[in-house]
């Protein structure tokens, strides 16, 4: 009887250990509740556990969305004409750590009919460079403590022209 009990406990322990490692491996490619499609070398979260959504902790760009749009359009300048003639919304999701450093971790596109789509590689890379050029991020705060969070920038594109930056 004791042998079966010991074997049962050993099996339970090994199963719990295997599940712990499996779950940990699954979560390493997550940022909050979103999968990480891209990783930036040298970028790391502050490691305090939770990754907040920007609207709940006040993550922002220095000077606000208006200044961010101006900087993006200024960076794009003549490159904005190099976009492929397609329409839809291209969203870049960024992680902003407690030090105010940002990195793109996910890119999603939808077409004018709200169906998931892949935008042209040139369009994606030109806009990626523009988003990565932004450097004045203000980390979100819980109380007086800066925290990790994520934020998104969406480009509305109509016939290869940037119609709006949300």
- pLDDT tens, position by position, 86-106: 999 999 998 899 999 998 788
pLDDT at residue 3 is higher than 90: no
For 162, the enclosing helix (H) or strand (E) is: strand 161-165
Percent of the chain whose predicted confidence (pLDDT) is above 70: 84
Q: What are phi and psi of 160, to 5 degrees?
A: 80, 10
Cβ neighbours for 123, distance < 8 A, ≥ 6 positions apart: 83, 84, 86, 90, 157, 160
> Residue 134, class by beta-carbon neighbours within 10 Å (0-12 exposed, 13-18 middle, 19+ buried)?
middle
Per-residue confidence (pLDDT) for residue 26, from 0 to 100: 45
pLDDT per position as a tens digit, 38-57: 667 778 888 766 788 888 89
Mean pLDDT of 137-145: 92
DSSP class of residue 77?
G
Domain boundaries along the sequence of the chain: 1-31, 32-165
Q: Secondary structure of the chain: what % helix, strand, coil (to 5)?
A: 35, 30, 30
**Residue 29 binned pLDDT confidence (cut-offs 50, 70, 90):** very low
Instruction: Please tell me the predicted confidence (pLDDT) of residue 50.
Output: 76
DSSP letter (8 states) at residue 148:
-
DSSP alpha helix (H) spans, 28-136? 54-57, 64-76, 121-132
């Amino acid at each position: 009887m004791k042998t079966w009990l010991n074997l049962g406990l050993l099996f339970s322990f090994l199963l719990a250990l295997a599940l712990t490692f499996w779950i940990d491996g699954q979560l390493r490619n997550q940022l909050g509740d979103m999968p990480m499609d891209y990783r930036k070398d040298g970028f790391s979260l502050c490691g305090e556990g939770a990754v907040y959504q920007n609207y709940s902790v006040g993550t922002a760009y220095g000077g606000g969305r208006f200044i961010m749009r101006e900087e993006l359009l200024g960076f794009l300048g003549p490159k904005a004409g190099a976009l492929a003639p397609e329409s839809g919304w291209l969203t870049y999701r960024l992680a902003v750590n407690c030090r105010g450093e940002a990195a793109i971790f996910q890119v999603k596109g939808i077409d004018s009919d709200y169906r998931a789509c892949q935008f042209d590689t040139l369009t994606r890379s030109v806009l990626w460079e523009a988003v990565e050029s932004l450097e004045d991020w203000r980390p979100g705060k819980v109380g007086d403590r800066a925290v990790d969070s994520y934020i998104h920038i969406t480009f509305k594109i109509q016939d290869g022209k940037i119609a709006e930056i949300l």
